[in-house]
Structure 1
Amino acid sequence: MAWAERLDSGRYRGVYRDGHGRRRSLDQTYTHKARAERAAGAAEEKARRSMAADPDAGRRPWGEWCDEWWPTRGVEDSTRRTDAGRRANHLDPRWAKIPIGSIRRHDVKEWAAALAKSGTGPGTVQHCVRLLSVSLAAAVDAEIITVNPASGIKLPPGAQEVERFLTREEYDAVVAQLPTTRDHLIVHTLAFTGMRWGEMAGWHRARFVPERGVARVVETFEEKSGLVKAYPKGRRVRDVPVPAWLVNMLGEALEDDPGSCGLEHRVGVCRSGLVLTTGSGTVLRDSNWSGRVWRPAVERAGIGHCRPHDLRHTYASWLLQDGVPLARVGKLLGHVSPMTTQKYAHLQPGDDESVLAALGAPGLPQVRGRVG
């Protein structure tokens, strides 16, 4: 968007933003504001056209380029499905027919602001802008445009989610409401290993070493596809210690090994059954078990809203409150980035006693007059 600014001399200078979003001004000045605005608009249009490495390629609609680029992305199927929804709902309506070489930084900012104003959540807005930016970065790499107008755009941070974790009393109250020993095992495994649901559902007997008390987190069950993936989230295979009492409980349930989980593996051949299954021996599905077992138990326990995934947060909170270092907790949870584990940092024992001791020291000035 070009404009004109009035100088002390009374003349006008045209101002615009280039393809990188940087402010630029014309050297020539004008006696009339309208002439300065027209000149700035022409300069801005020229800068926008120069963003295309190949002018003909830059005239391609973004949607056409996205169709070509989409299959080349090296992302998980679950990410591809989620991004497809974001593209259909938020990106295509705005950008599908827009020539890729004419997308400006200001346009992207206005679009992001409009998404937020429409009620789209901050996290979704950030994901949508990131998806657009990645597609434009690929266009730069393909020499269709020379710069990525969506790169580095700063957006307001979303509201930080407050993690839900159970106290020991709340946990015991829920467990007391579970209908079967099998359900007890499912909940104990989630709460005392910190596994994600898909990791627990895809936990194979060959990955359980009872003599060492170790669960090796490798395969993951993908509920939407019904397939077994060869690695957990973040591709971080990890060993998690299992308490002796839970090892004993699990051992009693693993007397007969069917030799295979009965599920299709994306990679390799299955060589053992699953550690935890339904009563009929099929894979556990969160969408089924939560509604049938978990939510009724939580409601009867009267502890408020709580998801099975919150047992993972509970695991982290119990470890930290008992003095396990934050870095170690991050490794047990399989976090790729240490920053992910920082959301639990407030649960670590602090130095409150020394702070309170300092505040309660003698010699504080006497307060005079009324307070309030």
Structure 2
Amino acid sequence: MQNFTDRFAKTVSCPKGMKKKLFTDGKVRGLVLEVRDTGGKTYYVRHADDRGSQKLHKIARAEDISVSDARKLAEQLRRQLIMGEDPKSVKAAKRAVPTFAEFTADKYLPYVFSYKKSADTDLSLLKNHLLPALGRKWLDDITPEDIEGIIKKRIRNGAAPASANRLTILLRYMFSLSMKWKIAGIKENPASAVELLPVNNQIERFLTDEETQRLYKAVSTSQNKNLKDIVAALILTGARKSEALKAEWSDIDFDRRTWRIPVAKSGKPRYIPLNDQMMTLLKELEERNKIGSKYLFANPKTRKPYVSIFRSWDTARKQAGLPDVRLHDLRHNFASLLINSKRSLYEVQKLLGHTQVKTTMRYAHLAHETLIDASNATSRLSGILEIGVSK
């Protein structure tokens, strides 16, 4: 045992024939100085673990701190060990925490690309917004304030609240998975503390019969010869644009009058009943399929589905004087026609392929208007009740 001094720590050397020797301080219990034959010297705290085994816990190199500092640090470390805290384990756990970029590349993207239809969208959001801001941060260092800063920047740059919310939702999902997978250091979801921005973008644009005629006339004169057939299919079935563009002839069952969507938005197949007008359109398309493509609306140049039809659609809708009408509005219009034909919300839900009725409930106000119209059948009672009759 030796009362350590700065001079002792500087001059002490390892005895000849030994690779290292431990010297014990006489003032602070557990403080030792390891001196090696290479000349290196390190302060440790010696402490017995729960099983009684003596362990050495490193403090620092002797050349980096004074004896006084070594004693203070030894006392702090010893108190931690007595309380059951193991700084070594804490450090190891910290080193195991990945950065946001590492977690994204090694865990998240391989997972979502194995099942998620919108994985490309996730990748775009990550590359353009989240990785530049969070990529170098350790996953357990990301705070709600960090996320709120990203959202505020998106809004300042002109993004709509719904677009900004997609970042929060994506981060919520990523952190939820990190907790499920027990990623080191992740015990809470910082994105769950970030509130979504209020959104009022439930745009419902319904076409009148006259507007439908104008629109169809415009798409019929489009340079994209398939546009009028694509638009007609969307109007007649309420299908999503992506479903129509990827449709294959093998998905059509003429006998059962069904169109099979192999992978719908829900991730499962769904079946669209084919009405008389759609059956007529399909037979015309079948006769005109001179290029022998397996796709209903193949790009004649590539024989594959269109990557985008926005340019030709945008030209046609403007020509029709309907610049505010989106392709997705044709799906809303399909629902409107069903409701106004006195079909139930349940039937609309099934025809649109909604997995939850609450999604279909956005059209409930149309059903209400239809009910009012039905209720007006009582108008013959007006005379009997003398309503609206001057007295």
In the superposition, the TM-score normalised over structure 1's length comes to 0.64
From 232, 250, 274, give the equivalent of 1:242.
274
Structure 2 match to 1:285: 306
- Aligned 8 A contact 1:210 1:251 in 2: no
From 240, 250, 253, give the equivalent of 1:209.
253
Structure 2 match to 1:31: none
Q: What does 1:152-191 align with in structure 2 at a 5 Å threshold?
A: 153-177=194-218, 178-179=220-221, 183-191=227-235
From 94, 110, 113, give the equivalent of 1:72.
110
| CA distance 1:99–1:362, change in 2 (3 Å) | farther
| CA distance 1:205–1:170, change in 2 (3 Å) | same
From 169, 176, 181, give the equivalent of 1:130.
169
- Aligned 8 A contact 1:58 1:102 in 2: no
Q: Which amino acid aligns with 1:235?
A: G
From 285, 293, 301, give the equivalent of 2:320.
301
C-alpha separation between the residues in 2 aligned to 1:276 and 1:325?
Answer: 31
Identify which range, 117-126 or 162-171, moves more after superposition.
117-126
C-alpha separation between the residues in 2 aligned to 1:152 and 1:205?
Answer: 48
SS of 1:239 mapped into structure 2? strand
Answer yes or no: is 1:100 the counterpart of 2:119: no
Structure 1 match to 2:82: none
Structure 1 match to 2:264: 232
Q: Give CA deviations for 1:106-151 in whole Å, capped at 9, x if unaligned.
A: 4444554454345432122222122223332333332412222222
C-alpha separation between the residues in 1 aligned to 2:295 and 2:259?
Answer: 12
| Greater relative contact order (CA < 8 Å, ≥ 6 in sequence) | 1
| CA distance 1:136–1:213, change in 2 (3 Å) | closer
- Aligned 8 A contact 2:112 2:119 in 1: no
Between Structure 1 and Structure 2, whose CA radius of gyration is higher?
Answer: 2
| CA distance 1:336–1:242, change in 2 (3 Å) | same
Structure 1 match to 2:39: none
| CA distance 1:337–1:214, change in 2 (3 Å) | same
Structure 1 residue runs of 5 or longer lacking an equivalent are: 1-48, 219-230, 262-272, 364-372
Structure 1 match to 2:285: 253
TM superposition shift of 1:287: 2.3
SS of 1:215 mapped into structure 2? strand
C-alpha separation between the residues in 2 aligned to 1:146 and 1:133?
Answer: 13
C-alpha separation between the residues in 2 aligned to 1:151 and 1:107?
Answer: 13
| CA distance 1:342–1:58, change in 2 (3 Å) | farther
Structure 1 match to 2:13: none
| CA distance 1:55–1:120, change in 2 (3 Å) | farther
TM superposition shift of 1:260: 7.2
Structure 2 match to 1:334: 353
- The Cα RMSD (Å) is 3.6
| Aligned residue pairs, count | 285
Answer yes or no: is 1:87 the counterpart of 2:126: yes
- Aligned 8 A contact 2:97 2:183 in 1: no
Q: Give CA deviations for 1:69-122 in whole Å, capped at 9, x if unaligned.
A: 233323557633222232233222332222322333444445544543454321
In the superposition, the TM-score normalised over structure 2's length comes to 0.61
TM superposition shift of 1:183: 4.5
